[in-house]
Amino acid sequence: MTQKRTWYNIIFWIALYFFWILIFQKRAFAFSKTMTVEFCYLLFIAANYYFNIYYNVPKFLYKKKYVAFGLLFLAGVIVAALLRVPLATYLGVHFFAPGRKPPGFYQLFVNSFINIFIWVICLVAGKIIMDRIRFQKYVDLMEKDKVRNELDFLKAQFNPHFLFNSINSIYGNIDKNNSSARGMLLTFSDMLRYQLYECNTDSISIDKEVRYIRNYVALQQTRNGENLVVDLEIDEELRGFTVAPLLFTAFVENAFKYVSHHDDKANRVEISLSKKLDNLVFRAFNTKEKNYNGEAVINHGGIGIANVKRRLELLYPYKHELAMSRNDSSYEVVLKLQI
């Protein structure tokens, strides 16, 4: 997706560049001179566009800091216009009209400011409108999925009280000497209670999410035994903020689901969660199996991962970075959230 987006951007700017050349071609200018002028404008306009799209808009406009957004927008255009003045003067003196007196500073600055301002505001506004349309389509799709999931849940609904009563009955019938089985059942009951009763909100305390991860890791560690090395590192300072519930679950589940099963105890799962400045950093790593051709046996890009990506796009637009990497022997996920 990143590579496609890069090519789309390149094609867009090339098309806009030739559009400018055809529209603004002057009889007094040679074609090559028009190309040079428009290319200079392209550099300053593109720089302002990306500055606004990737910094100014998400940092200030989307956070309703309109004054700061407007001041930064104007500052970017003013800087670009100021930088273009000496460049236009140099080109005029040495290439376009040698021997003639170049236009004054004020004239060049005003022309540069107006052109850059108009094009940047049109391009940024167009991008925001397109993103808003795509976002609305995505919200509509999520609403349809939500209704479908609610219907599916109603069809397969069970009585939670009956389920927990059954778990308590099973717990009471397990031999008291079998502390491992009793502990696993209690951990499972706590995880189930979290999913059924506490996750029906848009956000949840990080403390509860961390507890769920610890319970899941403990359950899997007990189930897999000594043939699996599990390294769980969670920052003790993680408190005082909320996250979307079960956001990291699919990655943790996949790490244990697809971990290797070598006989030499080289099987490893690493889970970490830490806070660095305003970012919450989650990492999941696991060793993996190979087939006879040296390729990975398991594909980690399942439905669960796709759902997480969609939730991140909806809940944390412009506020997350998701990186997945793999090699012949391992798989790693790193997720960064702005909190």
Give DSSP secondary structure letters for 73-126: HHHHHHHHHHHHHHHHHHHIIIIISTTSPPPPHHHHHHHHHHHHHHHHHHHHHH
Low-confidence ranges of the chain (pLDDT < 50): 28-32, 292-298, 301
Quote the distance between the C-alpha of residue 99 and its chain's center: 54
Domain finish residue from 118, 151, 184: 151
Give the closest residue to 44 by CA, choosing from 91, 72, 76, 6: 76
**How many angstroms separate the CA atoms of 117 and 214, rounded?**
53
- Kindly report the average pLDDT of the chain as a whole number: 80
Q: Is residue 61 part of a domain?
A: yes
Residues 6+ apart with CB under 8 A from 213: 232, 234, 248, 249, 252, 271, 273
SS3 state of residue 156:
coil
Kindly state the percentage of the chain with pLDDT values over 90. 25
**How many angstroms separate the CA atoms of 258 and 288, rounded?**
6
Q: Is residue 305 part of a domain?
A: yes
Residues 6+ apart with CB under 8 A from 320: 312, 335, 336, 337, 338
**How many angstroms separate the CA atoms of 171 and 185, rounded?**
7
Task: Quote the tokens at residue 37.
Answer: 């002028």
b/e per residue, 7-19, with b = 16+ CB within 10 A?
eeeeeeeeebbee
Give the closest residue to 137 by CA, choosing from 325, 18, 327, 310: 310
Domain finish residue from 102, 136, 151: 151
Task: Quote the tokens at residue 8.
Answer: 């789309």
**133 and 253 both lie in a single domain:** no
Domain finish residue from 120, 151, 182: 151
Give the closest residue to 267 by CA, choosing from 220, 225, 229, 224: 229
**25 and 137 both lie in a single domain:** yes
**32 and 138 both lie in a single domain:** yes
pLDDT given for residue 75 in this prediction:
94
Give the closest residue to 210 by CA, choosing from 271, 270, 276, 267: 271
3-state helix, strand, coil in the chain (%, to 5): 65, 15, 25
pLDDT given for residue 298 in this prediction:
45
Overall domain count for the chain: 2
What are the two backbone dihedrals, phi and then psi, of residue 294, each rounded to the nearest 5 degrees?
85, 10
User: ∠315-318-320 over CA atoms, to 5°?
Assistant: 70
Q: Is residue 156 part of a domain?
A: no
**How many angstroms separate the CA atoms of 81 and 76, rounded?**
9
- 226 to 205, 216, 330: CA distances (angstroms): 32, 17, 19
SS3 state of residue 13:
helix
**25 and 138 both lie in a single domain:** yes
Q: Is residue 74 part of a domain?
A: yes
- Domain range enclosing 232: 225-338
